[in-house]
Amino acid sequence: MKYLKAFFGAFILILIDQWTKYMVLLHVKPVSSIPLIPGVLSFTYHENRGAVWGIMQGQIPVLILSTIIILAVVLHIYARIPDTKKYVWLRLVSVLVISGAIGNFIDRVFRRYVVDFIYFELIDFPIFNVADMYVVIAAGLLILVSFIVYKEDSDFDFLRLKKGERHE
């Protein structure tokens, strides 16, 4: 059941991300920017051909391979998370990371760039998108629940290699 919930959740989140990017291509790209709160927040079209904050510009094959590796690791971890109520937060973090990674992966594979569009002009923050928000929310949530919910070392025992397992 945990896999079905995760698949459905990720599917919906990826659809939301891709829909927002489609709407930006349709409505924002032609005008380059639409102010939401003048001087503070706008939808500003940007083609990111790199990674976070524009690093690794033009390194699409490396970014695609990195995403595949990250997805494999997160999926492996998700498979090991106990299917109990206590670990609902870790499952949510995993689904958010998977959704964000796949959302930007789709852009990189099919467009050769990631569509970014949310721009906080007030602080001149780098332009980002919904998939990026999923990953940032996941990171914040992981930090928060690590202090509040998963305080004991034994809470992460499920990640340890069991006797007889090999690390490859």
Catalytic position from the list 17, 83, 107, 116: 116
Comparing C-alpha atoms, which of 116, 3, 5, 97 is closest to residue 51?
116
Q: Evaluate whether 101 touches 71 at the Cβ level (below 8 Å).
A: yes
| Residue 129 to residues 84, 113, 153, Cα–Cα distance (Å) | 32, 12, 35
In the chain, the amino acid numbered 82 is P
Q: d(Cα 95, Cα 2) in Å, to the nearest integer? A: 11
Q: Could you confirm whether 116 is annotated as catalytic? A: yes
Q: Which of 17, 83, 124, 132 does the annotation list as catalytic?
A: 132
Residues 6+ apart with CB under 8 A from 101: 67, 70, 71, 74, 131, 135
So which residues are the catalytic ones? Answer: 116, 132
